[in-house]
Amino acid sequence: MRLYIKAISRYKGDLEDVDVKKELKKTYKLDTRRQDRFIHLALWGAKRVQDRCEVNIDDELYITSGVGNMDIVQKSNEYVKIQKEILRPFDFINMLGNTTSYYVAKALEIQGKNLFQISNSFTFIHSLISIYASLSISKKEALLGCVDLVPEPPEFIKRVLGLDKDVKVLSGVNYQKLSLNAEGAIAIIEFDTKIYRLQEVEKIAKESRLKVMFSPEDEYFETMPSYYINAAIEAKEELLYIDSFEDKYKIIRVLKVT
């Protein structure tokens, strides 16, 4: 399967020190009331990609995440189980994944198909597959936003994900504008539904002419492939990215437009 990338935006929490809420107010004049850090991160990435491309009213929108808005889940647990208080209405609303999608669609003024989806593994690639299938029918274009936010304290998400205590967990938000139409594309992304064994990906990596990258083991956010794909595009590099979950592997290729 192949999609054309028209524009990107990328953010990785250890590389930029940004007050996202202030940026949304100052740069994009957005009302950030009744929203939380996860929604702010999704909005910021969306507006940054809109700075680089035309967003149409009928574009499709897909938001995905590793574990979703754990910040608000932890906050709600604090209210209800520890402080024995009633859950605040806006906290309940913000806990719903499609609340984030609603705010992003509103900020971008789009009215097309709108999905918030998470899978228990390879959530970025699975979102690409969903987009490819949908665009094959609709012939429209899509925005894919990948949002991961480290809650406070970070040890909370490490326990949820079963990560080693020495792994560095990061926040990130990365977007791609995707199309089946090559016109105006800045890169090509190729992927498939196959699950590979380690021996298979090692052989593919050895024979590839592309720059090869395996998922980092010392730092983590689940939608990290999206960030490194965007980084390769900005560096004008072709990339073979090998994503992993337990003993399973999937492959994504980033190619130049010829």
**Quick check: pTM over 0.75?**
yes
249: tokens are 């592997």
What was the pLDDT predicted at 97?
61
Of 9-23, 45-59, 65-79, least confident by mean pLDDT is: 65-79
Stated as kind and residue range, the H or E segment containing 133 is helix 123-138
pLDDT digits (tens, 9 = 90+) for 203-228: 999 999 999 999 988 888 889 999 99
Q: According to the model, what pLDDT value does residue 153 have?
A: 76
pLDDT tens track for 234-244: 999 999 999 99
Give the pLDDT of residue 187: 98
- The bridge status of strand 239-245 relative to strand 60-64 is unpaired
Give the pLDDT of residue 53: 96
**CATH assignment, 2-190:** 3.40.47.10
Neighbours of 125 (CB within 10 A): 21
Q: Are 189 and 2 in contact (CB under 8 A)?
A: yes
Res 31 pLDDT > 80:
yes
Residue 54, pLDDT score: 95
pLDDT value at residue 92: 54
Q: Where are the domains of the chain?
A: 2-190
Percentage with pLDDT > 90 across the chain:
67
- Three-state SS for 206? helix
Average pLDDT, the chain: 89
According to the model, what pLDDT value does residue 17 have? 78
Please report the pLDDT score of residue 96 as a whole number.
61
How far, CA to CA in Å, does 83 sit from each of 76, 96, 101? 10, 22, 30
More reliable by pLDDT, 73 or 143? 143
178-212 core/surface letters (b: 16 or more CB in 10 A; e: else): bbbeeeebbbbbebeeeebeeeebeeeeeeeeeee
**Per-position DSSP letters for 74-87, written without gaps between them:** HHHHIIIIIS--PP
Place of tokens 């990609």: 49
Task: Provide CB contacts within 8 A for 78, sequence distance 6+.
Answer: none
Q: Across residues 96-123, what is the average pLDDT?
A: 89
* Mean pLDDT calculated for residue range 93-115: 85
pLDDT at 85 over 90: no
- At 158 the pLDDT is 84
pLDDT (0 to 100) of residue 173: 96
Q: How much is the pLDDT for 164?
A: 86
Q: Check if the beta carbon of residue 172 is closer than 8 Å to that of residue 227.
A: yes
